[in-house]
A and B are shown apart, each in its own frame.
Chain A
Amino acid sequence: MEAGVVVKVSGPLVVARDLPDPKMYDLVKVGKDRLMGEIIELRGNLASIQVYEETAGLGPGDEVISTGEPLSVELGPGLLTSIYDGVQRPLDVIRAKYGNYVTRGVEEPGLSRERRWAFTPAVKVGEEVGPGDVLGTVPETKVVTHRIMVPVGVEGKVSEVKEGEFTVEDVVAVVETPRGEVPVTMMQRWPVRRPRLYAEKLAPYEPLVTGQRIVDTFFPISKGGTACVPGPFGSGKTVLQHAIAKWANAQIVVFVGCGERGNEMTDVLLEFPELTDPYSGEPLMLRTVLIANTSNMPVAAREASVYTGITIAEYYRDMGYHVALQADSTSRWAEALREISGRLEEMPGEEGYPAYLGTRLAAFYERAGRVVCLGGDRREGSVSAIGSVSPPGGDLSEPVTQATLRVVKVFWGLEDRLAFARHFPAINWLNSYSLYLDKVQDFWRQEVEPAYAELREEAMGILQREAELQEVVRLIGIEALSDQERLIMETAKSLREDFLQQNAFDDADAFTSLRKQYRLLRLIMTYHHLASRELEKGRPIEELIDLPVQEEIARAKFIPEEELERFDRLEEKVAEQLAGQAMEVRA
């Protein structure tokens, strides 16, 4: 085979000369270990290549071979429950074959070639099919039915369709197209840097319920939406991302550990098979795909990992599923981009990031969305994208945060000040926002509770008032406040401690349904409304605080989902105790 030769090696960047027929983003194999790399720049007869593996030992004269194809992922049954590196090499298989360390030059396909899957056809011979039409189904895991779709570019009449157990390489159907017969297998390949196709994009409507109270009630994300989680180290980005991956009502979760800790992936790997999905009642792992390119793994593969992840997410979306894609952390992806850009000696933009950082980020988040999928049945699917951002020193003015904020619609701003006081999730309720709020509130009105939206607005108002009042207390002291204002402080404290604070490590607290969130919020606000009325009647604030029922309010977050009627009783108690004391006083 004709090959080019290495002329330069600088960290993950290799330059090769005289590569036959090089194209941008083609996958190449470098050196005798056949290290994987990708062409990222062409100048004359020179091709710059980012290599996905450690380049130590490479030197001028080593051979470079192009595969002639862009970096692609394999899509088909077997993705779920897998753990891949940034370029879709299965880490479990690699460990079994090569040991505990990731060595170089390992070639392993993303999907097992041996495993057989039970394929049940959904079409008959003679039917007309086009891209996206479902040819048949495979029970991929106990909870997910994998739909085998007609690949893009194939249209015609089914001339053959099989039933039974097949590997991903076996032909399960044949489509007669104007260009001849096209055999279809259960596996497709798709270049990761190209968004997969859909019929139509739709506006967001339904919330992605995460079970996290501050998220769902105050700053919701919708299915198909985009969100970012910026915060300094230790503020709770990863715990929040994990909580969402665990409890969101997505049908598929793709979690990309991008340049972060190895142990965090281990944590997911050990926990997800044990935890039960509140929606399906089955282990969470059965609907999860993990991409792990940890901080000590090669940076170029880290750059690719978010694309590998989102392509897999889009593929399940195309089947008509609601998918959550999470990337922890997009800053590490941006840093990988910066490192490669630096080695290419490109003109640096702000803080050394390349000038195209913003467009790359925007293009990535654009791949999220709620869509009508390809295929005659016009099924609907979505990819919601949630990215952590790790701003140096927690400074949100840095380029990655700023570029992200320009494209995402939800901002959950984590603060170390809250984390230090062990207020978790440490999301600042004053500056976080969701641009889906209106849409989601429409949904609440119709599907959950008409009063939910107003209650949320009122609670938010109280939290904002609290911040202003705290300023007053700080300057003058608590005596400066009126009784109504002191009640606001009291309610705000309850909102913070009894509603916003949520312990991700407590089994009873980790997940809260929308219905329970509403009841909990209503309980706290009931106290507020009734106490406020008592104040208007002229009673002093001292009589309305430190009631026994307030301790019960504080524990209400632990009320099991099956016993929500207990909230009725609690609300009654609030009324009784507020009024009851009044009676005692009058008596």
Chain B
Amino acid sequence: MLKEYLTVKEIVGPLILLEGVEGAKYNELVEVEFPDGSVGLGNVLEVEEDLVLLQSFEATSGLDIARTKVRFTGRGLELPVSRDILGRVFDGLGRPIDNGPRIIPDKRLDINGNPINPYARDFPTDFIQTGISAIDGLNPLVRGQKLPIFSGAGLPHSRLAAQIARQAGVLGAEEEFAVIFAAMGITFEEADFFIQEFRSTAAIERAVLFINLADDPAIERIATPRMALTAAEYLAFDLDMHVLVILIDMTYYCEALREISAARKEVPGRRGYPGYLYTDLATIYERAGRIKEAKGSITQIPVLSMPDDDKTHPIPDLTGYITEGQIILSRDLHRRGIYPPIDVLPSLSRLKEKGIGPGKTREDHSPLSNQLFSAYARGKEAKELAVILGEAALSEEDRLFVQFSEAFEDRFIRQGEYEDRSIEETLTIGWELLRILPRSELKRVKEEHIKKYMKT
């Protein structure tokens, strides 16, 4: 029998303070019954003696002090899982919204999970070919990595994420895979774009969707990525699948967290975000990876929009401190009509060293990417100089670097949304572009590789 209380004392924003409660537990799931009979969920943020502070996942409009009922469930928030979650659409709290049958659970899992023992982890080393040169060639993704896309309002991050989901595969591998898609606070149109995308490629049968839209309750978003990752862990480590998790948009998730923190009158950290934002985000992002002896894996692609395109804003900043690199989109490239507008220089894949090279991709991959990076950096720098001093002030060499950087953006970075380049194609384009530069400048690639791969 659930304990029920009618003792609401205060309602402040998403918070409900209850008194006279006995036996409440920290982080316990509660049911909140609205005066109109509808029922929402919430959980315990703090207990002190008989006082309980709750956060309501449902918007609190319509609640009142006299008639609101709260029931304590004695457990945490859980997700019922079974193989049948594949192909299904859930709301942000894991309730089916696709009119499909009820899920008959194989188990119920606490959505907070437990931290993976660092000793149990296996290092991600399998290169994932996304078919996108700016990623595969320069910032390659490996299985088990968490690699976010830092974007901005109006940039094509959804198209890019969808392209990755569509094209991603491990070279020479035929294994069971699944895509988990968690929407937090995005618009119906954006979410629908993904749903149609999954439908049209029949990927929907291998997908699990958790959808919290812009007009859905904001606080619900706090649970959504945890729902998605709980499902991912089940598929990856119970059912041996390789799972790709797309979390979009983490910025709205963080804003929900900020809302709770502000309502609790906590001492704010940078820009009003709570001081524990780093730790909180880590409990999401660290739920990616591989486990020794396990067949499956979890690869995460969180997407976030940088407020004001500012990489030092706490959300991208703290994300970058936790994830294993970042793919940054550039408004400048986008304006110039380059898709995908990936700003390769500040982008980074921290796991690339172990995912590429002989036996994985190709022996020249790593030195070639270093050479492309430094040549492009130099070309861009020279271009900036030319803007100030005029083309004429550039040395002959610098002019070649400028030419290189333009060709690089046009041929290497730019590609079609449905163009799926093999890693060989990507590397070949790289070598072709290097021909623009004088041989003596190619200090980062080996002589033997130049002979072998640079067609002259």
Give the interface of A toward B (CB within 8 A).
7-11, 15, 54-61, 83, 91-92, 94-95, 99-103, 232-234, 257, 259, 261-263, 265-267, 269-270, 292, 294-297, 299, 332, 335-336, 338-339, 342, 348, 351-352, 390, 392-395, 416, 419-422, 474, 476-478, 497, 505, 546, 551, 554
Contact pick for B353, options A60, A234, A505, CB 8 Å: A505
How far, in angstroms, from A105 to B442 measured CA to CA in the complex? 57
B119 to chain A, nearest CB (A): 4
Is the Cβ of B326 less than 8 Å from the Cβ of A234? yes
Is the Cβ of B118 less than 8 Å from the Cβ of A265? yes
Q: Which residue in chain A gives the minimum CB-CB distance to B77?
A: A56
- Encode contact with A along B113-134: 1 for CB under 8 Å, 0 otherwise: 1111111111110000000000
How far, in angstroms, from A56 to B283 measured CA to CA in the complex? 14
Q: Which residues of B contact A477 (CB under 8 A)?
A: 389, 393
Q: Which residues of B contact A348 (CB under 8 A)?
A: 267
Q: Which residues of B contact A419 (CB under 8 A)?
A: 348
Of B100-108, B208-216, B312-320, the one touching chain A: B312-320
Q: Which residues of B contact A8 (CB under 8 A)?
A: 46-49
How far, in angstroms, from A10 to B46 measured CA to CA in the complex? 5
B240 to chain A, nearest CB (A): 14
Is the Cβ of B123 less than 8 Å from the Cβ of A57? no
How far, in angstroms, from A232 to B326 measured CA to CA in the complex? 13
Is the Cβ of A60 less than 8 Å from the Cβ of B47? yes
Is the Cβ of B46 less than 8 Å from the Cβ of A9? yes
Given contacts A57-B27, A392-B317, contact A262 B388 (CB under 8 A): no
- Asked whether any CB of chain A lies closer than 8 Å to the CB of B279, the reply is yes
How far, in angstroms, from A83 to B120 measured CA to CA in the complex? 11
Is the Cβ of B23 less than 8 Å from the Cβ of A61? yes
Given contacts A57-B28, A551-B440, contact A295 B325 (CB under 8 A): no
A536 to chain B, nearest CB (A): 25
Q: Which residue in chain B gives the minimum CB-CB distance to A422?
A: B373
- Asked whether any CB of chain A lies closer than 8 Å to the CB of B322, the reply is yes
B388 to chain A, nearest CB (A): 7
How far, in angstroms, from A263 to B317 measured CA to CA in the complex? 19
B398 to chain A, nearest CB (A): 9
- Tell me the B388-424 residues at the A interface (CB within 8 Å): 388-389, 393, 395
Is the Cβ of B275 less than 8 Å from the Cβ of A478? no
Q: Which residues of A contact B318 (CB under 8 A)?
A: 392
Is the Cβ of B346 less than 8 Å from the Cβ of A59? no
- Asked whether any CB of chain A lies closer than 8 Å to the CB of B34, the reply is no
Is the Cβ of A92 less than 8 Å from the Cβ of B119? yes
Is the Cβ of B117 less than 8 Å from the Cβ of A59? no
- Asked whether any CB of chain A lies closer than 8 Å to the CB of B287, the reply is yes
Contact pick for B267, options A99, A101, A352, CB 8 Å: A352
A291 to chain B, nearest CB (A): 10
Is the Cβ of A101 less than 8 Å from the Cβ of B117? yes
- Tell me the B255-301 residues at the A interface (CB within 8 Å): 266-270, 275-276, 278-279, 282-283, 286-287, 289, 291, 294
Is the Cβ of A294 less than 8 Å from the Cβ of B115? yes
A43 to chain B, nearest CB (A): 14
Is the Cβ of A393 less than 8 Å from the Cβ of B122? no
How far, in angstroms, from A44 to B434 measured CA to CA in the complex? 73
Q: Which residues of A contact B291 (CB under 8 A)?
A: 100
A359 to chain B, nearest CB (A): 19
- Asked whether any CB of chain A lies closer than 8 Å to the CB of B54, the reply is no
How far, in angstroms, from A11 to B286 measured CA to CA in the complex? 19
- Asked whether any CB of chain A lies closer than 8 Å to the CB of B350, the reply is yes
A343 to chain B, nearest CB (A): 9
A377 to chain B, nearest CB (A): 38
Is the Cβ of A263 less than 8 Å from the Cβ of B115? no
If over half of A's interface residues share one DSSP class (helix, strand or loop), that class is named, otherwise mixed; here it is mixed
A220 to chain B, nearest CB (A): 27
Given contacts A335-B275, A422-B374, contact A296 B27 (CB under 8 A): no
How far, in angstroms, from A396 to B321 measured CA to CA in the complex? 16
A-B contact pairs, 19 of them (CB 8 A): A8-B48, A9-B26, A9-B46, A9-B47, A59-B23, A60-B50, A92-B119, A100-B291, A233-B320, A257-B118, A263-B144, A265-B121, A269-B118, A295-B286, A296-B116, A296-B282, A332-B278, A416-B346, A505-B353
Is the Cβ of B47 less than 8 Å from the Cβ of A267? no
Q: Which residues of B contact A297 (CB under 8 A)?
A: 115
Is the Cβ of A262 less than 8 Å from the Cβ of B286? yes
Q: Which residues of B contact A100 (CB under 8 A)?
A: 116-117, 120, 237, 291, 294
Given contacts A95-B117, A234-B348, contact A58 B25 (CB under 8 A): yes
Give the interface of B toward A (CB within 8 A).
23-28, 45-50, 76, 110, 112-124, 144, 237, 266-270, 275-276, 278-279, 282-283, 286-287, 289, 291, 294, 311-314, 317-318, 320-322, 324-326, 345-346, 348, 350-351, 353, 366, 370, 373-374, 377-378, 385, 388-389, 393, 395, 440, 443
A347 to chain B, nearest CB (A): 10
Q: Which of B47, B122, B266, B353 has the most CB of A within 10 A?
A: B47
Contact pick for A262, options B25, B76, B121, CB 8 Å: B121
Q: Which residues of B contact A9 (CB under 8 A)?
A: 25-26, 46-48
How far, in angstroms, from A262 to B395 measured CA to CA in the complex? 47
Contact pick for B377, options A10, A299, A420, CB 8 Å: A420
Is the Cβ of A339 less than 8 Å from the Cβ of B389? no
B357 to chain A, nearest CB (A): 10
A533 to chain B, nearest CB (A): 25
Contact pick for B286, options A15, A294, A299, CB 8 Å: A294
How far, in angstroms, from A339 to B269 measured CA to CA in the complex? 10
Is the Cβ of B267 less than 8 Å from the Cβ of A263? no
Is the Cβ of A58 less than 8 Å from the Cβ of B116? no
Is the Cβ of A299 less than 8 Å from the Cβ of B119? no
How far, in angstroms, from A234 to B322 measured CA to CA in the complex? 10
Q: Which residue in chain B gives the minimum CB-CB distance to A554?
A: B443
How far, in angstroms, from A99 to B73 measured CA to CA in the complex? 28
A328 to chain B, nearest CB (A): 12
Contact pick for B118, options A57, A103, A262, A497, CB 8 Å: A262
How far, in angstroms, from A342 to B46 measured CA to CA in the complex? 14
How far, in angstroms, from A261 to B325 measured CA to CA in the complex? 12
Is the Cβ of B312 less than 8 Å from the Cβ of A395? yes
Is the Cβ of A342 less than 8 Å from the Cβ of B266? yes
Q: Which residues of A contact B370 (CB under 8 A)?
A: 422
Contact pick for B113, options A91, A101, A478, CB 8 Å: A101
B183 to chain A, nearest CB (A): 23
B371 to chain A, nearest CB (A): 9
Is the Cβ of B279 less than 8 Å from the Cβ of A56? no
Is the Cβ of B118 less than 8 Å from the Cβ of A339? no
Is the Cβ of B322 less than 8 Å from the Cβ of A95? no
Q: Which residues of B contact A476 (CB under 8 A)?
A: 389
Is the Cβ of B312 less than 8 Å from the Cβ of A421? no
How far, in angstroms, from A385 to B78 measured CA to CA in the complex? 43
Is the Cβ of B385 less than 8 Å from the Cβ of A263? no
Q: Which residues of B contact A554 (CB under 8 A)?
A: 443
How far, in angstroms, from A58 to B76 measured CA to CA in the complex? 11
A86 to chain B, nearest CB (A): 11
Q: Which residue in chain A gives the minimum CB-CB distance to B373?
A: A422
Given contacts A61-B23, A270-B123, contact A421 B345 (CB under 8 A): yes
Is the Cβ of A57 less than 8 Å from the Cβ of B76? yes
How far, in angstroms, from A295 to B321 measured CA to CA in the complex? 10
How far, in angstroms, from A212 to B268 measured CA to CA in the complex? 40
A374 to chain B, nearest CB (A): 34
Q: Which residues of B contact A422 (CB under 8 A)?
A: 370, 373-374, 377
Is the Cβ of B50 less than 8 Å from the Cβ of A94? no
Q: Which residues of B contact A54 (CB under 8 A)?
A: 112, 114
